[in-house]
Copies of this chain bind each other. A is one copy, B any other.
């Protein structure tokens, strides 16, 4: 099969490296930056760079660009793709993105599959891409009623070949609601956490909690701002929940109410222990 990866950043580059290493498919690449394409060619991650007029060669294409850029790219280039071929995106939000991509591809008889490979690093770009980024990661697919089932199976099969640990199916809406909590909120907390003047003195005063809490503050602000704006409602809901919960701890401390504070902490511990036990059971 001819697989085309568009956008050779952290995710796209890792797709190329993983597919080349673990499968026998022909892996093609495209990046607007020629230097990046050349790197992928030189290190053997792709067999060839395809310019848009050659996209017709691709059986399956993964568009690995930022959300809004993905939409714009597809709009401009959809006529280059072969009818009945498969196009998947890998954006971290699915609702609005999937709806738009679905509409654009449908009129050209192209089969669109929404996916979200649940992997990342705190730094982006091709230079950080690796062939084992997806080991132990989940691959989420978000089919809708209009999704072509054969194309869905093709994409799932590729993900399995790449070494994803499990394939998860969710509706675009449920995906976005959950991701607002497990990933987006965490990025905002990390970013907000580093903004205390006390960060100047952190050296030597942490056993790991501070690092865990702030690791992802190095996020790419353009991509994440785009993702957040595509998922406003669920994200606002999670932010409000967190802020209101933090306010409860604040109140207990301000009131010197040790019993209340202990109870709040106890509740949190029990929830987390249950989460861990569910996690270990499903391993």
CB distance from A196 to the nearest CB of B (A): 5
Tell me whether A275 is interfacial, beta carbon within 8 Å.
yes
Docked Cα-Cα span, A243 to B207, in Å, equals: 23
Q: Least Cβ distance of A210 to chain B in Å?
A: 4
Q: Provided the pairs A199-B275, A202-B178, A238-B196 are in contact, do residues A228 and B253 lie with their beta carbons within 8 angstroms? A: yes
Given that A216-B212, A246-B188 are known contacts, is A261 also in contact with B229, CB under 8 Å in the complex?
yes
> A174 on the interface (CB 8 Å rule)?
yes
- State the number of copies, please: 2
Is there contact, CB below 8 Å, between B265 and A225? yes
Residue of B nearest to A183 (CB): B209
Stretch at the interface among A13-21, A76-84, A96-104, A266-274: A266-274
Sample of 6 A–B contacts (CB below 8 Å): A166-B204, A178-B205, A196-B241, A212-B215, A212-B216, A229-B253
A106 contacts the other chain (CB 8 A): no
Inside 8 A of A206's CB, which chain B residues have their CB?
118, 182-183
A201 to B174, CA, bound (A): 9
| Cβ 8 A contact of A186, one of B187, B210, B224, B235 | B210
Known: A191-B269, A273-B218. A181 touches B204 (CB 8 A): no
Report the interface size class on chain A: 35 or more
Whether the Cβ atoms of B203 and A282 lie closer than 8 Å is yes
- Report the bound CA distance from A269 to B216 in whole Å: 9
Cβ proximity bits A118-140 to B, threshold 8 Å, 1 near / 0 not: 11100000000000000001101
**Distance A265 CA – B45 CA, assembled complex (angstroms):** 32
Q: Which of B205, B212, B214, B245 touches A272 (beta carbons < 8 Å)?
A: B214
A-B pairs with lowest CB-CB distance, top 7? A191-B268, A181-B198, A221-B265, A217-B272, A186-B209, A192-B245, A138-B204
Q: A138-B205, A217-B268, A240-B250 are in contact. List 7 more A-B contacts (CB 8 A).
A: A182-B205, A197-B241, A203-B282, A218-B276, A243-B243, A243-B246, A243-B247
- Closest B residue to A121 by CB, please name it: B207
Known: A198-B182, A206-B182. A192 touches B236 (CB 8 A): no
Contact B278 A195 (CB under 8 A): no
A239 touches B245 (CB 8 A): no
Contact A204 B118 (CB under 8 A): yes
Residues of B contacting A216 in the complex (Cβ-Cβ under 8 angstroms) = 209, 212
> Known contacts being A198-B177, A225-B265, A269-B221, is A205 close to B183, with CB within 8 Å?
yes
Max count, chain B CB within 10 A of own CB: residue among A118, A217, A226, A265: A265
A190–chain B nearest beta-carbon distance, Å: 7
Q: Are B120's CB and A207's CB within 8 A?
A: yes
A213–B268 Cα gap in the complex (Å)? 13
